[in-house]
Amino acid sequence: MEWAKRYPMNVTQQAGQLRRMRGLFDLGQDFAYGVFSRDGSEVLGGTGLHPRVGEGALEIGYWISASHTGRGLATEIAGALTRVAFEVEGVRRVEIHCDPRNVRSAAVARRLGFVHEGTLRQRLVAPDGTLRDTMSWTLLSEEYPASPAAATVTEAFDVLGQKLL
């Protein structure tokens, strides 16, 4: 994960990172979200829709705090963002990328109906400098309606509070 190379950060650096992410969101260029407990008191993870995979496509990225894995949060998050990508943004393709050693992340893609297109060898540089493979999972717009992702219960609202889903 490219963003992981920047951590740990001090408070000033993190504030700058959050400002940058907010600016990209406001410009419609990248969409990062926090994942919080229901009462908002705890950060459980993060997620986003990223346009870095080509025209008419979005990549879903997510991470869940180690103390909150195994509860279905990543599946719920990825399912919700898949719906937003297809039903709100109107993309043709949604991708999920993960390290082959990340069995849980691959299971998320599989559970939502994504197809494993392949594993790209030595594609990413890890924070420790080693080269790592990455799996590419894809769901196409024509496959989406019959996928488990389409059945994800989701509500989405725009900045004015108008319901999108």
Domain range spanning residue 37? 2-151
pLDDT digits (tens, 9 = 90+) for 30-46: 888 888 888 888 888 88
Is there a domain that residue 160 lies in? no
Please tell me the number of Cα atoms within 13 Å of 78 on its side-chain side: 32
**What pTM was estimated for this model as a whole?**
0.86
Q: At 136, which CATH number?
A: 3.40.630.30
Which parts of the chain sit beneath pLDDT 70? Answer: 1-9
* Rounded Cα–Cα distance for residues 37 and 23 (Å): 24
| β-bridge partners, 94 | 58, 139
